[in-house]
Amino acid sequence: MKYSDITKLKHLAQDKISRSANPAIVRNSTIFFKSMQELLEKEKIVKKGSKVNFYEYGRGGSQTTIALQNFIAELELAHATFLTSTGFSAVALAIMSTCRPGDEIVVTDAVYAPTRMITSQLLKQFKVKTHFYNPEDFRNLESKINKKTKMIFVENPGSNTFEFQDLSKIVKLAKKKKIITAIDNTWGTPFFIKPLKLGFDMSISSGTKYFSGHSDVMLGSLSVNKKVYEKVRFSNKLLGYRASPDDAYLVLRGLRTLDIRLKKHEENTKKIINFLKKEKKIKEILYPHKKGTQNYENWKKHYSGATGLFSIFIYSKNRNSILKFINSLKLFGIGQSWGGFESLVLYQNHNLQRIYKKYIKANHHIVRFHIGLEDPADLIADLKQALRKIK
């Protein structure tokens, strides 16, 4: 019988051996075998990509991390899922496992800053050339592709400027040109969109964010189809990527309520945006809320919901007043991450000036928000008092 994702989130991680609702936290390095023949057979099984209940060595993981791998793979409709210690290391694994000297990679211009650094700086040292494309111009993406293009790396939406792309067109182009595709899907999660079903080869999520939901974990996941499985498995084993069983357990616990939390994040965010769009000091809200716009139509085409991360665009000749606005907020923490239960705020000009200059003109300011699970009426009241600081 097929079940919905809502039901799967509640049942996938049950421990059938101990009959516990939750898997045990298993910490291991050495794993014992009854014979050398058994150990060698286990190595063959792991290499084939078959689902396993234990690995031949602790670097592969433990029963706890296997439970989380299987859980996410089921949500992603993936051939397999690999876990890493951070979300960004999942990005690095996807790229480093497939790109080789002489290859070229095409990357979303509005990509996460560390992803931009690894593609534009580190890959350069390995003789891999990177081209950045405008996420709002599909023809610009097409123009960056040539016979050496090995991968198209998409971040959708851009995690500061929130451009939504026509993902099905990107996949169609990539398949025609026989190019590997990877997407950072941390914003949407596999609950709102399933990139592998859409045709992507790799789907990346920072488990630090919505998977965990409690701002106490660092973890990444890379879900893959059968086509790229062996490349990723080989690199993953050699590079020694591994998530800790303790963090895997916390993410498993967080995933049980992913659907409920995401719906509340979305509900709260809509209320906040309805308030902000009436404020004259805010020139633009970077979120898929305007019907008829390209961003809205692309979001609606591919996603079943929206999450709690967005930016606002403020015009002011007084930069200090923008900082006073942020510093005056009582319920919004000033912090780098997002996806947890608490609301957050960040002034982003210092990041975007280095990597992405589209919005950074004189007196233009980008402030990014993550809307948490607080009472939205309290968040609106907090924003209302702080907005008075902007001049």
pLDDT digits (tens, 9 = 90+) for 53-66: 778 777 888 889 99
Q: Which residues contact 30 (CB under 8 A, 6 or more apart)?
A: 57, 58
Rounded to 5 degrees, what angle do the CA atoms 7, 11, 14 make?
A: 175
Same domain, 249 and 262: no
**Which CATH number belongs to the domain containing residue 289 in this structure?**
3.90.1150.10
pLDDT digits (tens, 9 = 90+) for 178-215: 999 999 999 999 999 999 999 999 999 999 999 999 99
- Predicted confidence at residue 355, as pLDDT, reads 53
Tell me: pLDDT of 352 over 80: no
- Predicted confidence at residue 180, as pLDDT, reads 98
Same domain, 139 and 249: yes
Q: Report the domain count for the chain.
A: 2
Boundary residue ending a domain (210, 239, 255): 255
- Which of 35-49, 123-137, 329-343 comes out lowest in average pLDDT? 35-49
Question: Is 337 a domain residue?
Answer: yes
Question: Is 38 a domain residue?
Answer: no
Same domain, 22 and 103: yes
Tell me: pLDDT of 346 over 60: yes
Same domain, 265 and 341: yes
Question: Is 127 a domain residue?
Answer: yes
Same domain, 193 and 77: yes
pLDDT digits (tens, 9 = 90+) for 221-230: 999 999 999 9
Q: What is the mean pLDDT of residues 93-110?
A: 95
Same domain, 220 and 149: yes
Boundary residue ending a domain (201, 236, 255): 255
Question: Is 106 a domain residue?
Answer: yes
Same domain, 21 and 155: yes
- Predicted confidence at residue 24, as pLDDT, reads 81
Same domain, 304 and 337: yes
Q: What is the mean pLDDT of residues 21-33?
A: 86
Structural domain of 264? 258-387
Question: Is 39 a domain residue?
Answer: no
pLDDT digits (tens, 9 = 90+) for 357-379: 565 677 788 999 999 999 999 99
Q: What is the mean pLDDT of residues 7-12?
A: 87
Same domain, 302 and 177: no
| Total Cβ atoms within 10 A of residue 74 | 17
- Which of 108-117, 173-182, 330-339 comes out lowest in average pLDDT? 108-117
pTM for this entry: 0.93
| Pick from 263, 355, 370: nearest CA to 311 | 370
pLDDT digits (tens, 9 = 90+) for 276-326: 999 988 989 999 999 999 999 999 999 999 999 999 989 888 989 999 999
Question: Is 162 a domain residue?
Answer: yes
- Predicted confidence at residue 57, as pLDDT, reads 78
Side chain identity, residue 297: E
| Residue 368 β-bridge partners | 311, 346
**Which CATH number belongs to the domain containing residue 159 in this structure?**
3.40.640.10
Question: Is 34 a domain residue?
Answer: no
Tell me: pLDDT of 354 over 60: no
pLDDT digits (tens, 9 = 90+) for 119-158: 999 999 999 999 999 999 999 999 999 999 999 999 999 9
Tell me: pLDDT of 356 over 60: no
Identify the helix (H) or strand (E) that includes residue 320: helix 319-328
Same domain, 103 and 230: yes
* Residue count of the chain: 391
Boundary residue ending a domain (206, 239, 255): 255
Question: Is 91 a domain residue?
Answer: yes
- Predicted confidence at residue 358, as pLDDT, reads 60
| Cβ proximity of 97 and 236 under 8 Å | yes
Q: What is the mean pLDDT of the chain?
A: 92
Same domain, 266 and 250: no
Same domain, 265 and 332: yes
